């Protein structure tokens, strides 16, 4: 596994992430991605939306430095002066991937333990992360004692404990029921505003992408390219009122149409070959 990339994009204004003509072809011969050019501003909330298998996770893994691009360049800006155990990038996966034999507290502390953070400081930061995701009361519980939504909160806390500037989320709420998903959407937006992180959020859901994002990037089927991008020019503070508004419905319709037309743009023969 390649170490996470955190080279500077200084000189590009407020960009946090830059993908320049990035492609990815796996050793199996599958071309998953690109070329993709994408710039994401510091503090921006961007969703990558596309059909299954279009390369969304691949793009996220490349940004995280968990996979290398086959060609092109990836730049992730990171402020200098990080303390031990801090990391510019946090990653939340679709599965909470908690250690079943360890308490919530020990699961969240894991990245700090791996970074040899002193235990008093680690305890302080774990407490802070637990409070942020509203799990303080469950610090000593084991994952099997948590609901799906709580497991995902624990997974989110584990990503926050390293105080990332960029949070990458790969369909984190896809397996949750709708009520829990809505609640976590709102909690995530509150965290994003409070912590002023840059968030890149992968989802299949048009509704979720429009609700959460400042910008929705629509991808084509594999190999994933950018088919369209939509600025969601709604107030940063969203909620039930936004979800029920005609503006929200209209934006969802536009994004949905773009997604459908991006999918139709791929010739059947090319699809069959891919
Ligand atoms: N490690 C790998 N080796 C070979 N092929 C891979 C690997 N990872 C992903 N792929 C292939 O690359 C393509 C894109 O996969 P990726 O997981 O990035 O898509 P996705 O848009 O995130 O899909 P989904 O929405 O279903 O999670 C798929 O065809 C997948 O089979």
Domains and CATH numbers, the chain: 15-79+165-273 (3.40.50.300), 98-164 (no CATH)
ipTM, two decimals: 0.97
Residues 135/136/137/139 CA torsion (nearest 10 deg):
90
Cβ(31) – ligand 1 distance below 6 Å: no
**Predicted pLDDT at 12:** 37
Alpha-carbon span 99 to 235, nearest angstrom = 38
In order along its 274 residues, the chain shows pLDDT tens digits of 333 333 333 333 478 899 999 999 999 999 999 899 999 999 999 999 998 889 999 999 999 999 999 999 999 887 665 666 677 888 999 888 899 999 999 999 999 998 888 899 999 999 999 998 889 999 999 999 999 999 999 999 999 998 889 999 999 998 889 989 998 999 999 899 988 899 999 999 999 999 999 999 999 999 999 999 999 988 877 888 899 999 999 999 999 999 998 887 654 443 333 3
**Predicted pLDDT at 83:** 67
- Map residue 183 onto helix, strand or coil: helix
Cβ(43) – ligand 1 distance below 6 Å: no
Contact 55, 78 (CB under 8 A): no
Q: Which of 55, 93, 95 to mutate to test the pocket of ligand 1 (most atoms within 8 A of CB)?
A: 55
Contact 156, 118 (CB under 8 A): no
Q: What is the 8-class DSSP label of residue 202?
A: E
Q: Which residues pair with 46 in a beta bridge?
A: 200, 215
Alpha-carbon span 59 to 65, nearest angstrom = 10
Length of the chain counted residue by residue = 274
**Predicted pLDDT at 217:** 96
Helices within 65-212 (DSSP H only) = 104-114, 119-132, 148-160, 178-195, 206-212
Element (H, E) at 16: strand 15-25
Q: Which residues pair with 167 in a beta bridge?
A: 90, 199
Cβ(30) – ligand 1 distance below 6 Å: yes
Q: What is the 8-class DSSP label of residue 132?
A: H
- Map residue 56 onto helix, strand or coil: helix
Q: What is the pTM of this model?
A: 0.89
Contact 185, 164 (CB under 8 A): no
Residue nearest to atom 12 of ligand 1 (CA): 32
Q: For residue 60, which atom of ligand 1 is closest to its CA?
A: 18
Contact 154, 104 (CB under 8 A): yes
Cβ(57) – ligand 1 distance below 6 Å: yes
φ, ψ of residue 266 to 5 degrees: the values are -85, 120
Cβ(61) – ligand 1 distance below 6 Å: no
């Amino acid at each position: 596994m390649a170490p996470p990339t955190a080279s500077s994009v200084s000189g590009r204004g407020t960009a946090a992430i830059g993908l320049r003509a990035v492609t990815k072809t796996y050793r199996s011969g599958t071309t998953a991605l690109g070329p993709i050019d994408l710039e994401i501003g510091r503090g921006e909330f961007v969703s990558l939306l596309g059909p299954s298998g279009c390369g969304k996770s691949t793009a996220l893994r490349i940004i995280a430095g968990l996979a290398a691009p086959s060609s092109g360049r990836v730049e992730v800006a990171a402020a200098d002066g990080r303390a031990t155990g801090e990391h510019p990038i946090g990653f939340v996966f679709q599965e909470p991937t908690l250690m079943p034999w360890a308490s919530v507290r020990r699961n969240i502390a894991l990245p700090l333990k791996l970074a040899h953070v002193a235990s008093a400081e680690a305890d302080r930061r774990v407490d802070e992360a637990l409070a942020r995701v509203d799990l303080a009361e469950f610090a000593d519980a084991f994952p099997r004692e948590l609901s799906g939504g709580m497991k995902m909160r624990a997974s989110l806390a584990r990503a926050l404990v390293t105080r990332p500037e960029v949070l990458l989320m790969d369909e984190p709420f896809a397996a949750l029921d709708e009520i829990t998903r809505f609640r976590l959407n709102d909690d995530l937006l509150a965290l994003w505003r409070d912590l002023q992180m840059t968030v890149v959020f992968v989802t299949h859901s048009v509704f979720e992408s429009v609700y959460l994002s400042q910008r929705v990037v629509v991808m084509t089927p594999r190999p994933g390219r950018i088919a369209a991008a939509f600025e969601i020019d709604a107030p940063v503070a969203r909620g039930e009122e936004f979800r029920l508004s005609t503006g929200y419905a209209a934006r969802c319709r536009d994004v949905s149409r773009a997604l459908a037309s991006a999918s139709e743009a791929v010739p059947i023969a090319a699809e069959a070959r891919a």
